[in-house]
Amino acid sequence: MEKMNIGGLQFGWELDKGRFTYENEDAVLFWISSAMRAFFDTIEEISGEEVSNLVFETTGYRQGVVVGEYFQNKPDVGLREAADLITNTYASAGWGKTAIKDLDPETCTLTAELIDSWEHKLNVSQGKTEGGSFLPAHYAGIFSGMFGTNIWYKVERFQLEGYESTIIHYFPSDITVTENIHQLSRRKEQDQITELEAIVEDKTRELKKLVRDLSSPIIPVLDHVVVVPLIGTYDEDRSEELLFKTLENLPAYKANYLLLDLTGLDNDISKYTANLISKVGSAASMIGTKTLLVGISPELGMEITNSGISLDAFDCFQTLQHGIHYALGQMGKKIM
């Protein structure tokens, strides 16, 4: 193996085995603006911006914890010395120049200044306007491991915004990558629920309109004779809709007789249905149209009788045909 010592760090190559080592550990090299960019772009394309940012942040943090715990287990290496070793090691690996400032073991706080990091170069090649989350979270993970307490970060500025460097502040926090994952999952679930609710609301609105259009038709069967079938159960909204449409359109047909066909009504007749029949009959009579009730089955007749609803004001017929023949007879006509 060919080896090289740079800044006290060992690099090695075994070309016949296709192996590269960094500090005697297997490592790989990638071009930032091509191979690394393709890798990150693919993750963002598949996952979307919000999810991919969390993936990078979580990965960076958890990798940093491994590094921090490694130095925590070395009591002979002080905190300040460990910070210098880490930044020098990362600089030799092409991670950019990092300076750790205001390191306070008592308050577990510090500030990191990053210049020309690989993430910054990657973001530049991607044409982004805001810096990434991998390295800020990575150093949070490092110092979480070293301090033995959860550390989080706040970016003061990104080099990508035109500054000479990226400035990041670190401090103890209850924020964790696990909680961030859960929050994202909950947001995604809520977004899906909201989207589904909107779809359901749109479909319900369309269905209600369709039901109104289909359940309140005025059918001209003969000159001056129209039929309005009542279907299903009527609540307040459906009752008002049918009443309005019927009275609005009756004059256009010059109807002498309006036949309310009760064949399609539920046997369990509601107060809205009974009131609807009375209102339609009364209103129609005011414009010169007589209302007949047709399609009253024995079951519906029993239900009306037991409910105490009075339909004495109307002529009632068992079938639609009977009602039509009666209306024609009253007008001096008959079907030949």
- What is the pLDDT averaged over residues 202-227? 78
- In the chain, domain spans: 1-30, 31-175, 185-213, 216-330
For the chain, percent of residues with pLDDT exceeding 70: 94
pLDDT tens readout for residues 17-65: 899 998 888 988 889 999 899 989 999 999 888 889 999 999 999 999 9
| pTM, rounded to two decimals | 0.58
- What is the pLDDT averaged over residues 193-215? 75
**CATH homologous superfamily, domain 216-330:** STAS domain (3.30.750.24)
101-105, 121-125, 332-336: the lowest-pLDDT one: 332-336
Residue 215's pLDDT band (cuts 50, 70, 90) = low
3-state secondary structure the chain: CEEEEECCEEEEEECCCCEEEECCEEECCCCHHHHHHHHHHHHHHHHCHHHHHHHHHHHHHHHHHHHHHHHHCCCCCCHHHHHHHHHHHHHHCCCCEEEEEEEECCCCEEEEEEECCHHHHHHHHHCCCCCCCHHHHHHHHHHHHHHCCCEEEEEEECHHHCCCCEEEEEEECCCCHHHHHHHHHHHHHHHHHHHHHHHHHHHHHHHHHHHHHHHCCCEEEECCEEEEEEEECCCHHHHHHHHHHHHHHHHHHCCCEEEEEEEEECCCCCHHHHHHHHHHHHHHHHCCCEEEEECCCHHHHHHHHHHCCCCCCCEEECCHHHHHHHHHHHCCCCCC
- What is the pLDDT averaged over residues 209-235? 79
pLDDT tens readout for residues 229-253: 888 777 777 788 888 888 888 888 8
pLDDT tens readout for residues 311-320: 778 888 988 9
Q: Do the domains 31-175 and 216-330 sit in the same CATH topology, yes or no?
A: no
The CATH classification of domain 31-175, taken from the options 3.40.50.970, 3.30.1380.20, 3.80.30.20, 3.30.530.20: 3.30.1380.20
